[in-house]
Structures are given as C-alpha cells and as structure tokens.
C-alpha cells in the first residue's frame, strides 16, 4: 500500500499567455502518494496537456486526437466538474521534479447506459511515463479517497477491449469484468471500430489500495 495524504488547498489563480486563459477557482483536496501529487489544474498545464492529447500513442484508443482549443476546453470542463461535484480528474505531477504527466481521477459520465448513474475512475498519462506503475499508484490513491472520504458505494471504469494497458490497471485496483456488462458507447456511431466497450466495476470490499 502506497502512502497517501490528502489536504484541502486552493487552486492556482488564473493566468494567460495569449493562447491559454483558464478560470480556476475554489478549493478541493489534493492527493499525495510516494511519487505523485494529484492536484487542481493550473494554466501552465495547458501546453503539456495539449502535447499529450496530440500523441498517437496516448490517443490510440480514442476516436480523435485533440486540438489545442479542444484540449483547453477539456480542462475547463474538468474544473467545472470539480465545482459541481467536489471531485474530478486531478492534474498529476511527479513529486520530485513537479513535472506534469497527465491526469488521474473521478468523473460522472453523461450518456445513456444500463449502469448509469455512476462515478468513473480514469487516467491519461504521457507515454514517456508509462511502464513505471504510476497510473496504478495514482489510481489507488483515488480509489482510497473515493471510498474512505467520499464514501462512494462503487466505481466503474470502461475502455475498448484492445486497451490492455488500461485494463491491467483496472485489474490491479481489484476491479472485475463481467462480459454481460459490455456495451456499445452511445456517443460513437454504429459500426465505429471503437464503439464496443468493456465495463469494469469496483466495490469497496474488493478494492486493492
């Protein structure tokens, strides 16, 4: 079990650099593990996040790579989610270097599916930092926070069947997959090669953190 601390800290004040202007307000707990800090988003995250969202390796199992404006809009929506729900997809950085490497966190999906309503755990990390167990380490901290502090009754995660890397992380968290739960993502058109998704579930008594 990795050491985990959470603390309530104000988000960074907004800033701009001609291309990126974010409105970041409010406060939300940040999570700290042995190697990671999960925190609210900062304007300085825009450039490395946009770079991550253009990487073919990172976006292999998504319908499209994101443009710079789309990437910025994603951050705005994540911050709005924090304000609405009190939790969200935390920007994630390495503790030692304070290097931004992506996000790990929680979100409330907004589409029709048999398992709704639910809270999803998800992650997206720079390919330069794959293979070191960082996604699992950060996700375990999020699971702990979700069940111990937020007292959520369950979590889900979903992806395309071919995304074995993310599926291994789900399994390391103790999540289970029942093929009967698999579904066609309603935001993708019929016949789209990424439409079919596998669903993993996690109850508190099965969580590995």
Q: Does 203 fall in a domain?
A: no
Query: For the chain, how many structural domains are there in total?
Result: 1
Closest CA to 90 of 133, 146, 30: 30
Q: Does 177 fall in a domain?
A: no
Q: Does 176 fall in a domain?
A: no
33 Cβ partners below 8 Å, 6+ apart?
A: 2, 3, 4, 95, 137, 138, 140, 141
Q: Does 185 fall in a domain?
A: no
Report the distance separating Cα 116 and Cα 139, nearest Å. 21
Q: Does 27 fall in a domain?
A: yes
Q: What share of the chain is helix, strand, coil (3-state, %, to 5)?
A: 30, 25, 45
Q: Does 168 fall in a domain?
A: no
Render each residue's pLDDT in the chain as its tens digit; 209 residues: 444 555 544 333 333 333 333 333 345 789 999 999 999 999 999 999 999 999 999 999 999 999 999 999 999 999 999 999 999 999 999 999 999 999 999 999 999 999 999 999 999 999 999 999 999 999 999 999 999 999 999 999 999 999 999 999 999 999 999 999 999 999 999 999 999 999 999 999 999 88
Report the distance separating Cα 209 and Cα 187, nearest Å. 32
CATH number assigned to the domain comprising residue 78: 3.40.630.30
Q: Do the bridges between strand 100-107 and strand 155-159 make them parallel or antiparallel, or are there none, so unpaired?
A: unpaired
Domain of residue 31, residue span: 5-153
HSE, side-chain direction, 13 A CA sphere, residue 152: 25
Give first-to-last CA distance, the chain, whole Å.
Answer: 6
């Amino acid at each position: 079990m990795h050491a985990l601390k959470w603390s309530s800290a104000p988000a960074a004040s907004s800033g701009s650099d001609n291309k990126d202007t974010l409105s970041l307000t409010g406060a939300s707990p940040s999570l700290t593990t042995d190697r990671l800090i999960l925190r609210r988003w900062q304007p300085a995250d825009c450039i490395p996040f946009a770079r991550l969202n253009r990487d073919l390796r990172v976006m292999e199992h998504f319908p499209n790579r994101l443009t710079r404006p789309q990437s910025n809009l994603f951050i705005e929506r994540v911050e709005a989610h924090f304000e609405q729900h009190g939790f969200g997809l935390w920007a994630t950085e390495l503790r030692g270097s304070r290097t931004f490497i992506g996000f790990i966190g929680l979100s409330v999906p907004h589409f029709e599916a048999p398992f709704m309503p639910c809270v999803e755990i998800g992650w997206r990390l720079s390919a330069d930092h794959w293979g070191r167990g960082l996604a699992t380490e950060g996700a375990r901290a999020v699971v702990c926070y979700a069940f111990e502090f937020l007292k959520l009754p369950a979590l889900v995660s979903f992806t395309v069947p071919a995304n074995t890397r993310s599926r291994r992380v789900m399994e390391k968290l103790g999540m289970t997959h029942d093929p009967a739960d698999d579904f066609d993502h309603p935001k993708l058109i019929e016949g789209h090669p990424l439409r079919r998704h596998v669903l993993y579930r996690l109850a508190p008594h099965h969580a590995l953190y």
